[in-house]
């Protein structure tokens, strides 16, 4: 009875985003369970003290003593989803251009926005997020992560990059001849300069290192490689000494090649990949985060209406590169570059992955168990399995038939704490 009263009190104040901070003892009875790999009808899940205690067919799980029973007929239980490419310190570019966010919004405002973005992400069913750079907000993601871990604010579990690393003169905001502007990332040059900056990021709290292997700094503002292969290898060696991976923004074939040969863990975007690049990625076990939703959003901000039936060349090319990546057998993670578009709309990337040809069940794996494996947290989250943290969501219907169902969130639990129901 006490458990039921406590649950009722917790849920009654959700509208104000107050939540119960003590993990509960729950027996959850959905119609089906997606465990991170496959869908299972008639399974139940027992959660206690923030940990998944038992998972399996209903006939093999007894109602634990003192557990609150939660029935979800017609619903699917699945792992909390993992956003693989986000920027909590950015908000949609059609609201405020990137340059204005970096130059004109105070860091206090940007942090306040990030708090809202973290809450919206969690309530959308994404219980873990890899944040790929504060874009001018320095190391403020460290404090945001700590505030979430301490229970000061609700939000997903964060894996943070602090400041991304770029080659001098390549990243924005662009300088004028008479004015040097603050940058959206940390600048580093040469092998020793790269080593020093990587150590700085690690010392400030980075969970991994992000570099820009290419950027739009060509003579005609086209994307060109930035760091040499030796510079990238140094970043990987230094970060690897501390047990941290390096990930690379890369959109050109040569930028991707240097990053892959340098030893990075993931390629972000990867628009210009060739068959040879995909072969290298598969050979080296480098994962791709194609960020389909970012390009889709930017083109819509510029006036494209998908309902018009006229598809921009950039969308056609992105669909083709995504198809070739799938055919090549490259590991494909789920991460949409959220921040370019609205936080809480993270499933937009998953829907495009399905629309561009990936089966719904594969999209679900990318957003859960596969992302957990890529990000090195599969022993903690990403699956519904005994012994893992109780990061669980309930969605209406069956998302393995149409991934759009993941937008119909019924319940969000992180670490055995219910944040939304």
pLDDT digit string, tens, across residues 210-256: 999 999 999 999 999 999 999 999 999 999 999 999 999 999 999 99
Rounded-to-integer distance, Cα 189 and Cα 169, Å: 10
pLDDT digit string, tens, across residues 87-137? 999 999 999 999 999 999 999 999 999 999 999 999 999 999 999 999 999
Considering only the C-alpha atoms of the chain, give the largest distance between any 2 of them, rounded to a whole number of Å: 74
Q: What is the CATH number of the domain that holds 386?
A: 2.30.40.10
- In the predicted structure, residue 376 carries a pLDDT above the cut 50: yes
b/e 375-413 (16+ beta carbons within 10 angstroms → b): bebbeebbbbbeebbbbbbbbebbbbeebbbbbebbbbb
Do residues 59 and 134 both lie within one domain? no
Do residues 292 and 416 both lie within one domain? no
The continuous run of DSSP H or E covering 221 comes out as: none
Do residues 58 and 128 both lie within one domain? no
- In the predicted structure, residue 10 carries a pLDDT above the cut 90: no
pLDDT digit string, tens, across residues 260-319? 999 999 999 999 999 999 999 999 999 999 999 999 999 999 999 999 989 999 999 999
Q: With bands split at pLDDT 50, 70 and 90, how would you rate the model's confidence at 21?
A: low
Q: What percent of the chain has pLDDT over 90?
A: 91
Do residues 18 and 60 both lie within one domain? yes
The continuous run of DSSP H or E covering 102 comes out as: helix 98-104
Rounded-to-integer distance, Cα 277 and Cα 118, Å: 35
Please tell me the total count of domains within the chain: 2
Do residues 358 and 276 both lie within one domain? yes
Do residues 407 and 263 both lie within one domain? no
Domain that holds residue 248: 81-374
**Burial environment of residue 192 by CB neighbours within 10 A (0 to 12, 13 to 18, 19 or more):** exposed
pLDDT digit string, tens, across residues 325-374? 999 999 999 999 999 999 999 999 999 999 999 999 999 999 999 999 99
Cis check: omega of the bond before 173, within 30 degrees of 0: yes
């Amino acid at each position: 009875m006490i458990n039921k009263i406590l649950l009722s009190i917790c849920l009654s104040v959700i509208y104000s985003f107050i939540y119960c901070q003590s993990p509960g003892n729950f027996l959850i009875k959905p119609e089906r369970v997606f465990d991170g790999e496959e869908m299972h009808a008639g399974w139940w899940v027992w959660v206690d003290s923030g940990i998944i205690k038992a998972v399996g067919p209903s006939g093999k799980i007894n109602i634990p003593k003192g557990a609150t029973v939660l029935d979800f007929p017609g619903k699917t239980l699945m792992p909390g989803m993992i956003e693989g490419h986000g920027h909590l310190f950015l908000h949609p570019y059609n609201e405020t251009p990137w340059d204005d966010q970096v130059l004109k919004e105070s860091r206090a405002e940007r942090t306040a926005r990030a708090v809202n973005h973290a809450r919206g992400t969690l309530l959308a069913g994404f219980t873990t997020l890899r944040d790929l750079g504060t874009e001018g907000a320095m190391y403020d993601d460290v404090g945001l992560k700590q505030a979430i871990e301490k229970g000061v604010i609700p939000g997903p579990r964060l894996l943070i990059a602090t400041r991304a690393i770029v080659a001098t003169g390549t990243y924005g905001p662009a300088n004028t001849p008479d004015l040097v502007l603050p940058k959206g990332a940390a600048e580093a040059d040469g092998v020793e300069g790269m080593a020093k900056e990587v150590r700085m990021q690690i010392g400030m709290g980075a969970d991994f290192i992000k570099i820009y292997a290419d950027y739009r700094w060509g003579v005609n503002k086209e994307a060109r490689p930035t760091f040499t292969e030796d510079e990238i290898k140094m970043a990987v060696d230094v970060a690897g000494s501390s047990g941290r991976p390096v990930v690379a923004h890369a959109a050109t074939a040569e930028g991707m090649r240097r990053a892959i040969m340098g030893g990075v863990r993931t390629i972000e975007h990867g628009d210009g990949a060739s068959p040879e690049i995909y072969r290298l990625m598969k050979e080296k076990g480098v994962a791709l985060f194609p960020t389909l939703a970012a390009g889709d959003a930017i083109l819509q901000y510029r006036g494209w209406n998908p309902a018009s039936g006229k598809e921009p060349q950039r969308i056609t090319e992105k669909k083709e590169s995504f198809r070739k990546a799938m055919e090549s057998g490259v590991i494909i993670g789920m991460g949409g570059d959220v921040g370019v578009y609205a936080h809480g709309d993270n499933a937009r990337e998953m829907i495009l992955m399905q629309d561009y040809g990936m089966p719904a069940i594969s999209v679900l794996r990318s957003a859960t168990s596969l992302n957990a494996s890529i990000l090195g947290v599969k022993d903690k989250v990403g699956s519904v399995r005994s012994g893992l943290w109780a990061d669980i969501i309930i969605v209406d219907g069956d998302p393995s038939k149409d991934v759009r169902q993941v937008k119909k969130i019924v319940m969000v639990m992180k670490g055995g704490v219910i944040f939304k129901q």
